[in-house]
């Protein structure tokens, strides 16, 4: 190998290797907690299935006439306790049978969806609003305000939910959907208050809240623009899961004869009537029970999916 001169050696040793091409930098907008949650929910089969079921239930509740042309309050004793195997004898198209008064079980199943959905959504909206406001005030201001609100919350929280609702309903001679909503909401706000209070206590320690105070932001602006959006995640989870519980609570009260009553159409009312005839017509009890279970399960699945999506630790 020929000897290299000193200059050539320095030139060779100091030579730089070819520079690799630098990939272009892409500036992707960072997603918020809600954006990440929505992206996770769309890939969650539990969310997809539960959301589809709830959507169908909402459509049934709003437009029951799309699913049946039968009158759920009109009966014909010719169809007394007829079940599916005997339908051909009277030539009727109803495939779920009839109750003791000859009313269509399927039609009552469809129209009963409305009462259950109305009760559950109205109660959830009221308890979320009342509990959210009281919990936010208690958690943010603290001190005497927190002590007073927490004390009242503990008093109501100590009353058994169903037992207290029964006592409240006894005060009404005529029980409608709105009296049941009032009875359930009267005692249902305490859990939301506790959840919101704890969430606000955590959020108000964040740096962006202290920065907003330092810049002179008012209390209402801090609560609505900074505290509320960042403290709502656990409240949404609890409210979604509780919605299914309110449907079950309404059915329980109606089954015991303390909730909705005829002529109001409700799954709980039909389950109560079917329990009395379980030996002779099991289909009257079976179908409303299945519908109730599917509905409660759908909302519980939705709440679990939302909880998993909003909790970074679970992701």
Q: Please report, for the chain, how many H helices and E strands are present, in that order.
A: 13, 0
Give the model's pLDDT for residue 10: 43
CA distance 104 to 291: 15
Tens-place pLDDT, residues 93-134: 466 777 766 677 788 888 888 888 888 889 999 999 998 899
Tens-place pLDDT, residues 169-207: 888 877 788 888 898 888 888 889 988 888 888 888 888
40 assigned to some structural domain: no
CA distance 272 to 295: 18
Beta bridge partners of 98: 104
Contact 275, 285 (CB under 8 A): yes
What's the whole-number mean pLDDT along residues 150-174?
A: 85
297 assigned to some structural domain: yes
Tens-place pLDDT, residues 206-251: 887 788 788 877 778 888 888 888 888 888 888 888 888 888 888 8
Whole-prediction pTM value?
Answer: 0.76
CA distance 294 to 117: 13
Total count of domains within the chain = 1
Tens-place pLDDT, residues 56-101: 888 988 888 888 777 777 755 555 555 554 443 444 446 677 776 6
Give the model's pLDDT for residue 35: 67
CA distance 265 to 118: 12
One DSSP character per residue, 237-292 reads HHHHHHHHHHHHHHHHHHHTTSS--TTS--HHHHHHHHHHTTTT-HHHHHHHHHHH
CA distances from 114 to 48, 63, 64, 155, 222 (A): 22, 9, 8, 33, 39
67 assigned to some structural domain: yes
187 assigned to some structural domain: yes
Give the model's pLDDT for residue 126: 93
Tell me, what CATH number does 166's domain have? 1.10.3720.10
18 assigned to some structural domain: no
Tens-place pLDDT, residues 43-52: 778 788 888 8
In terms of residue numbers, what domain contains 235?
56-310
193 assigned to some structural domain: yes
226 assigned to some structural domain: yes
């Amino acid at each position: 190998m020929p000897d290299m001169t000193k200059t050539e050696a320095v030139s060779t040793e100091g030579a730089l290797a070819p520079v690799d091409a630098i990939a272009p930098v892409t500036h992707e907008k960072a997603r918020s907690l809600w954006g990440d949650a929505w992206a996770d929910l769309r890939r969650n089969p539990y969310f997809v299935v539960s959301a589809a079921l709830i959507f169908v239930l909402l459509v049934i509740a709003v437009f029951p006439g799309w699913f049946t042309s039968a009158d759920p309050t009109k009966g014909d004793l010719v169809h007394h306790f007829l079940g599916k195997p005997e339908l051909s004898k009277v030539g009727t198209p109803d495939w779920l049978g009839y109750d003791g008064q000859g009313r269509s079980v399927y039609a009552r199943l469809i129209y009963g969806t409305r009462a259950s959905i109305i009760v559950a959504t109205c109660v959830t909206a009221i308890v979320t609003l009342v509990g959210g406001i009281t919990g936010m005030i208690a958690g943010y201001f603290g001190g005497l305000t927190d002590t007073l609100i927490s004390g009242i919350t503990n008093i109501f929280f100590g009353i058994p939910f169903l037992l207290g609702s029964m006592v409240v309903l006894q005060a009404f001679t005529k029980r409608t959907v709105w009296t049941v909503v009032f009875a359930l909401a009267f005692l249902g706000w305490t859990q939301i208050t506790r959840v919101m209070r704890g969430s606000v206590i955590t959020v108000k320690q964040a740096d962006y809240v202290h920065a907003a105070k330092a810049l002179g932001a008012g209390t209402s602006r801090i609560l609505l623009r900074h505290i509320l959006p960042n403290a709502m995640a656990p409240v949404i989870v609890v409210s979604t899961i509780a919605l299914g519980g309110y449907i079950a609570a309404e059915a329980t009260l109606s089954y015991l004869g303390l909730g909705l009553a005829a002529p109001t159409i409700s799954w709980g009312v039909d389950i109560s009537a079917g329990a009395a005839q379980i030996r002779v017509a099991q289909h009257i009890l079976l179908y409303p029970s299945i519908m109730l279970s599917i509905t409660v399960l759908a909302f519980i699945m939705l709440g679990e999916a939302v909880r998993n999506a909003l909790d970074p630790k679970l992701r």
